[in-house]
Amino acid sequence: MLEMRMDTRSGAGKSKTVDFSFAVAGMSCASCVYVVEKELGKVAGVDYVSVNLTGGKAYVVGDGRPDRDDLFAAVKRAGYQPLVDLPSEEEVERKFRLVGRRLVLAWAVALPAMLLMVLSMSGVRIRYMEFLEAAAGIGIIIGPGRQILKGAWVALTHRHANMDVLVSLSVVAAWVTAVLAGLAVPIQSFGALAPMLAAFHLTGRYVEARLRRRAGADLRSLMSLKGENVSAIGADGTVWELPVEAVKEGMRLKVRSGERIPLDAVIISGSGAVSEAMISGEPLPLSKAVGDEVIGGTVLESGFLEVEVLRTGEDAFLARMLVLVEQAQGIQVPLQALADRVAGLFVPVVFGFSMAVLAAWALFYPSAAMWLERVGDVLWWVPAGAGGWTTAVFAMVSMLVVACPCALGLATPMALSVGNGLAARNGLLIKGGEALQTAGELDVLLFDKTGTLTEGRPSVVHSSLNAADASALVSLETYSVHPLARAIVEWNGGESGETLNTPTPQDVKEEAGKGIGGTIDGVQYTVGRALDAVDVEVRSGHSVIQIWRDGSSAGFLVLADEVKPDAVAAVDALKKRSVRPVMITGDAEGTALSVATMVGIPVKDVKAKLHPEDKLRIVQDFQQSGLRVGMIGDGINDAAALKAADVGFALSDGTDLSMEAGDVVITHGGLKRIVEALTLSSLMVRAIKGNLFWAFIYNVLALPLAAAALVHPLMAEFAMSISSVAVLFNSLAIRRRYERKSRRTSVKE
């Protein structure tokens, strides 16, 4: 169905951002995409448009002014059909079978026509052959090929040209030669080509549809994780079945062994082994017990759980990930910019060129006849001695067929479809085209420390605070999003184990990189990074938080944070890829150096005691020196650096702000996913470059040959289909190459 999301977090005085995502029916090539994007871009208030040919979807970002009706009207002006509801899997399957039936009918007409053509080329004359060819052409035009002509008519009536226009002109031109030859006009009949061109074209479409379905398998497998019915537990313990859409936050659900966990929840009773393979790519099930969170879409392989629902609808993890994946399918890669501009002009330019070639052969055939006869001695299909008009039609039809920009339109979206689906299954969401193109070429990767290289779950190991100041500290930290805040709140009992009374603070304000402050019982408290006076406490890698009461120091807390188990291997893998790891942190230098030593980051590449603006400056300094910079973090103080970096990696268990700023979101799997993201980026860009190269080189080489009447129309149609299929297979190969490289370079757990 049509999806619309609003972002009103941009601040006072700024307009809200509205995202639309909806299906578009009827597109067949890159020219269609170009026209739809152009029309949508004309709508007032639209800031960004991306149309994905492979998925048949449009993604639009606006400033709040455009609504659904405006966008749908724009798509209709382009000649295509916007869909409120996406086609169901059953509807997609039905249409796929219909394409298959049309293909069978097309070849049922084309094969006899092919036989007639072979007999004619062998010197066998069949009475009324031209009329038989014309009849076969009519059969294909009003039968299985009528959808091609319909698509061409829609495009032309909306003042643009697409692949259907080129194929239709080729089919009609070939059919007209049969009619004219049958009426004794001195022109050779190419009537047999009409059903054969349509049959080859429909074959190419069928193969494309089949391979596109295969390319979208990863995304469909994610969508299939959505549950249908759940076992809800009432207040009296009664269990009943109800649709997952009816579940609300706070409801209790029962999950049995082998069942899929329907929604994000927390375990309130029971334990079991949960497989997160379809979400994170982790092959081994994880042990879960009371208090642990579980993700909707994962499977309880063994055990029994009672859970309390935490998130439903669009807020659920799986729903948010599907939205991001679908957005990622439509990202614009800079490599594609030239291809889009070429595709938008390609069809009308080639059409004009083919008409010029038609006229040139008709007028100047005598001058080239001798050359054509010599070529015909080598290339038997060249129409040597056939006359000016016959050669002109032959060359024109060949050019129209050669020029179909199908491969050009599939080059980028197919690679993105395969790559993003694979990334989502492995805990990665690549959100931006620039990031996709740059990630595999990074020179430097900047790491935040807390929550990135370390677990982000520190514990208090020492306190110099009295009970009143400790209570004030805990009260303030309940309002903080800093990774250390949770540890302080959980420490609530203090070292004595007694629960502290936590008064409600007033005028709470948190400033990224500096700390949090507020007023409690008329006293102004401030919490932040410790001063040098207590720096002695961090020599072993501990973190120190200092508290000020009315401007005077009230004491400090010392916290310890464990290094993540995969941090060492991740840093080592980056070094092997010639990516320089650098730590940038707001923590004290002693803490930073200790963690850096443990994970393998050189001392010279450790930058400590930084504010958010310092992190931003470091990113910019590296960029100004000509290096491509990546940044990974999970806190509010990382957001600016994440946004400024060439590629920002955000951990999904971090704050919402860092996730929004990140170009690549790591949903699961930890730091090892960074290396996998770089690998996948390299493979996707390599596939896109390869696809664009073959799409361009095919047209660059084939068009001049077709204009010179050296390419038979059937050969042109076959070559066009082969180029499209080659693009599809090259994109599908991303999965195989990724799995092979992952086995060779994967980070050890």
Q: pLDDT by residue (tens digit) across 443-465?
A: 999 998 877 888 767 778 888 88
Say whether both 513 and 554 belong to one domain.
Answer: yes
pLDDT of residue 267: 92
**In this model, does residue 14 exceed pLDDT 50?**
no
Range of weakest confidence among 206-220, 310-324, 543-557:
206-220
Residue 581 is predicted with a pLDDT of 94
Nearest to 484 by CA among 522, 448, 446, 536: 448
Residue 638: DSSP 8-state: G
Q: Which residues contact 184 (CB under 8 A, 6 or more apart)?
A: none
Contact predicate 60/82, CB 8 Å? no
Q: What is the CATH number of the domain that holds 655?
A: 3.40.50.1000
726 vs 337, residue with greater confidence:
726
Confidence grade of residue 689 (pLDDT, cut at 50, 70, 90)? confident
Task: Say whether pLDDT at 434 is over 60.
Answer: yes
Residue 49: which residues within 8 A CB-CB, separation 6 or more? 37, 40, 41, 58, 59, 60, 61
Q: Among residues 15, 49, 26, 51, which one has the least CA distance to residue 409?
A: 51
Over range 349-370, report the average pLDDT: 88
| Token pair belonging to 301 | 């392989």
Domain end point (choices 257, 283, 311): 311
Count CA atoms within 13 Å of residue 666 on its CB side.
Answer: 23
Q: Mean pLDDT, to the nearest integer, of 294-305?
A: 83
Task: Please write the tens of the pLDDT for every residue from 386-423.
Answer: 788 888 888 888 887 777 666 766 677 777 777 777 77
CA-CA distance, 554 to 9, in Å (whole number)?
36
Q: Is the pLDDT of residue 204 over 60?
A: yes
Pairing of β 252-255 and β 664-666:
unpaired
Co-location of 572 and 657 in the same domain? yes
**Mean pLDDT value across the chain:** 78
Tokens 């995304």 locate to 219
Among 284, 321, 319, 315, residue whose Cα is nearest residue 299 = 284
- Where is average pLDDT lowest: 531-545, 663-677, 718-732? 531-545
Residue 347 Cα to chain centre, angstroms = 27
- The b/e string for 698-736 (b: 16+ C-beta within 10 A; e otherwise) is bbeebbebbbbbbbbbbbbbbbbbebbbbbbebbbbbbe
Predicted confidence (pLDDT) at residue 747 exceeds the cutoff of 50: no
What's the half-sphere exposure (Cβ side, CA atoms, 13 Å) at 439? 33
Residue 360's pLDDT band, with cuts at 50, 70 and 90, is very high
In sequence order, the 6+-apart residues with CB closer than 8 A to the CB of 398 are 706, 709, 711, 712, 713, 716
* pLDDT above 70 coverage of the chain, percent: 79
Same domain for 441 and 567, yes or no, is yes
Same domain as 552, residue 529: yes
159 part of a folded domain: no
Give the highest mean pLDDT range of 31-45, 193-207, 503-517: 31-45
**pLDDT interval class at 225 (50, 70, 90):** low
DSSP codes of every residue in 236-280: TS-EEEEEGGG--TT-EEEE-TTPBP-SEEEEEEEEEEEE-HHHH
Q: Which of 644, 680, 685 is nearest to 663 (CA)?
A: 644
* pLDDT band with cut points at 50, 70 and 90 for residue 655: very low
Please determine, for residue 748, whether its predicted confidence score (pLDDT) is greater than 70.
no
Same domain for 567 and 619, yes or no, is: yes
- Which conformational region is residue 122 in: left (phi greater than 0), alpha (psi within -120 to 50 degrees), or beta? alpha
Asked if residue 60 has pLDDT above 60, the reply is: yes
- Domain check: are 640 and 510 in the same one? no
**Shared-domain flag, residues 553 and 607:** no
The pLDDT of residue 494 is above 60: no
62-71, 84-93, 142-151: range with lowest mean pLDDT: 84-93
**CA 194/CA 173 separation, integer angstroms:** 8
pLDDT at 741: 73
Nearest to 297 by CA among 325, 270, 317, 271: 317
pLDDT tens for residues 696-708? Answer: 787 788 889 989 9
Which residues, in sequence order, are bridge partners of residue 266?
Answer: 293, 308
Average pLDDT over residues 522-551: 73
- DSSP codes of every residue in 81-119: EEESSPPPHHHHHHHHHHHHHHHHHHHHHHHHHHHHHHH
Length, in residues, of the chain? 749
Residue 278 domain flag: yes
Q: 654 near 664, Cβ under 8 Å?
A: no
What is the domain-level CATH number for residue 285?
2.70.150.10
Task: Choose the final residue of a domain: 260, 276, 311.
Answer: 311
407 versus 24: which is more confidently predicted? 24
pLDDT per position as a tens digit, 590-647:
778 888 999 999 999 999 888 778 888 899 899 999 999 998 876 556 767 877 888 8
Same domain, 600 and 656: yes
| Host domain of residue 495 | 459-560
Question: Mean pLDDT, to the nearest integer, of 96-121?
Answer: 82
Known catalytic residues are: 448
Given 37, 56, 87, which residue is the final one in a domain? 87
CB distance 278 to 221 below 8 Å: yes
Q: Domain count for the chain, please give it.
A: 4
Mean pLDDT of 71-88: 83
501 assigned to some structural domain: yes
**Three-state SS for 635?**
coil
Q: How confident is the model at residue 331 (pLDDT cuts 50, 70, 90)?
A: low
Identify the top-confidence range among 119-133, 340-354, 558-572.
558-572
731 within some domain: no
* More reliable by pLDDT, 640 or 466: 466
Is there a domain that residue 273 lies in? yes
Judge whether residue 287 has pLDDT over 80. yes
Give the 3-state secondary structure of residue 581.
Answer: strand
| Chain segment 115-170, per-residue pLDDT in tens | 877 776 666 677 778 888 888 888 888 888 888 888 888 888 887 777 778 778 88
Residue 216 in this model has a pLDDT that exceeds 60:
no
Q: Which pLDDT score is estimated for 323?
A: 63
580 and 437 within one domain: yes
Domain assignment of residue 644, yes or no: yes
User: Does residue 160 belong to any structural domain of this protein?
Assistant: no
Whether residues 449 and 581 share a domain: the answer is: yes
Same-domain pairing of 527 and 604: no
CATH number for the domain that contains residue 15: 3.30.70.100
- What whole-number percentage of the chain has pLDDT above 90? 7
pLDDT above 50: residue 721: yes
Q: How many CB atoms lie within 10 A of CB 11?
A: 6
pLDDT at 738: 82
Whether 503 and 643 map to the same domain: the answer is: no
Mean pLDDT check: name the lowest of 362-366, 423-427, 572-576, 644-648. Answer: 423-427
Global pTM reads 0.60
Of 355-369, 581-595, 660-674, the range with the lowest mean pLDDT is: 660-674
How many Å is the Cα radius of gyration of the chain? Answer: 32
| Residue 259 near residue 300, CB atoms below 8 Å | yes
Name the token pair of 664.
């690549």
Is the pLDDT confidence value at 660 over 60? Answer: no
Bridge partners of 4? 20
How many other CB atoms sit within 10 Å of the CB of residue 621?
11
- Distance, CA of 2 to CA of 533 (rounded, Å): 58
Q: What is the mean pLDDT of residues 29-35?
A: 76
Contact 66, 44 (CB under 8 A): yes
Return the top range by mean pLDDT from 96-105, 307-316, 576-585, 669-678. 576-585
Q: Does 176 reside within a domain?
A: no
